[in-house]
Amino acid sequence: MHSLGTRVLLVTERDTITGKLKSGPGLRIKYGVPGYTYEIMTDKFSQSNYIRNITFNKMTSFYMLVKALFLRSQVVNTDAKFIHSFFWTFYRYRRPWIHENDQSPSQAIMDYMKIKNGFGEKVASMLGAVLNEAEFIITWSQWAGRGFRNDGVGKEKIKIIPLPYETKPFKSEHDGINVLFIGRDLKRKGGDSALKIMERISRERKGVRMLYVGKGVPDKHEWLKYYSSVSSAFLDNRIFPIADIFLFPTREEAYGIAALEALAHGVPVVSSRAGALGEIIDDGVNGFSGSSDDALHDRLLKLIDSDSLRSDMSKRALEKVSTAHDPVKISKMVKEVYDKI
């Protein structure tokens, strides 16, 4: 947090598993905005026992929607010049406010939470109207920007500003080829598909191992190394440096920060096309994308079989992050929005 500058109240949820700030607001705070200083207000409802699990189901989704509506009855006063809110923190703000999210209300409710009924449509419409009260909407992808426009948010309010991220190209020597999967929600993140694809690969190629980071203990296999829970530091310093390919067959995704993290470590990504992943993964350049398990298997095998292709895609991955997610450039983009308040 910066000690000098115009004060901004940043309102955010905490991660329901770790209790820490979520990645989006955490990165905005880490790199800051020249001339501005953040005061942090965390949403206590994000730590409710009702949502301290890893799976979006009918109960947790319903709770999130009710919470979003309930917060509209809660007034937030502040002496800060304006407010920068994140995700589902739809309080009634008494200062000008900017809202930031990785997806629009309808994308979250209809596609991510799978609430495709009259109630979901009504809530999405109500939240779209609420967002039009904000001065600006910051989102991370063109895909999400289209979602906000479809929800009725004025085009002039929507600002596409990717997350800031630094490259971390350190690599560790290791034998064979390591395919990494990360996902706390096995079904939603495609952990079951990743295991099936790798089981097939294990019969076709020798010396290929899967590094599986997530919940839901899979069956033991010689080709599988399982990590149930690891810290961000352990991922950065111990796992990503020995990963050769990142496999991400996620079924529902808004942005895909895990894929961005992989690229930042110079790890090519083989992923689905969910959400905004098509904007992070340049198909055939820094990884491959596919719409089925068979397609992902074939593209993964192509990377496994070619050292030169993996090396070239690794370089392109680092180039993508260093240009599209440069922290200095991104901070200037946020400052341009702030300066208009």
Instruction: For residue range 13-69, list pLDDT tens digits in order.
Output: 887 667 788 889 999 999 999 999 999 998 876 545 444 444 555 555 566 667 766
Q: Which helix (H) or strand (E) holds 11?
A: strand 6-12
Look at the block and give the residue holding tokens 């209809």: 110
Taking the domains of the chain in order of start, what are their residue ranges?
6-164+327-338, 177-324
For the chain, list residues with pLDDT below 70: 1-3, 16-17, 45-65, 68-69, 216-218
> Which CATH code of 3.30.360.10, 3.20.20.80, 3.40.50.2000, 3.40.50.720 fits the domain covering 177-324?
3.40.50.2000
What one-character-per-residue DSSP string does 16-32 give? TTT-SBPHHHHHHHHH-
CA R_g for the chain: 20
pTM (2 d.p.):
0.88
Closest CA to 179 of 287, 29, 336, 77: 287
Segment 281-309, tens digit of pLDDT: 999 999 999 999 999 999 999 999 999 99
Query: 6-164+327-338 sits in which CATH class?
Result: alpha beta
12, 59, 211, 252, 303 from 275: Cα distances, Å: 22, 23, 24, 7, 23
Instruction: Judge whether 35 and 3 are in contact, CB under 8 Å.
Output: no
Residue 214's region, left for phi above 0, alpha for psi from -120 to 50, else beta, is left
- Distance in angstroms (rounded) separating the CA atoms of residues 304 and 297: 10
**What integer pLDDT is reported at residue 54 of this predicted model?**
45
**What integer pLDDT is reported at residue 218 of this predicted model?**
65
| CA angle 274–153–320, rounded 5-degree value | 40
**What integer pLDDT is reported at residue 53 of this predicted model?**
47
Do 6-164+327-338 and 177-324 come out as alike in CATH topology?
A: yes
252 — phi, psi (to 5°)?
-130, 130
C-beta pairs of 291-299 under 8 Å, 24+ apart in sequence: 293/193, 293/196, 293/197, 293/249, 296/193, 296/197, 296/247, 296/249, 296/270, 296/271, 296/272, 297/197, 297/200, 297/201, 299/270
**What integer pLDDT is reported at residue 336 of this predicted model?**
97
What one-character-per-residue DSSP string does 203-237 give? HH-SSEEEEEEESSPPPP-TTEEEES---HHHIII
**What integer pLDDT is reported at residue 1 of this predicted model?**
45
**What integer pLDDT is reported at residue 296 of this predicted model?**
97
**What integer pLDDT is reported at residue 112 of this predicted model?**
75
Query: Alpha-carbon torsion 188, 113, 228, 230, what sign?
Result: positive
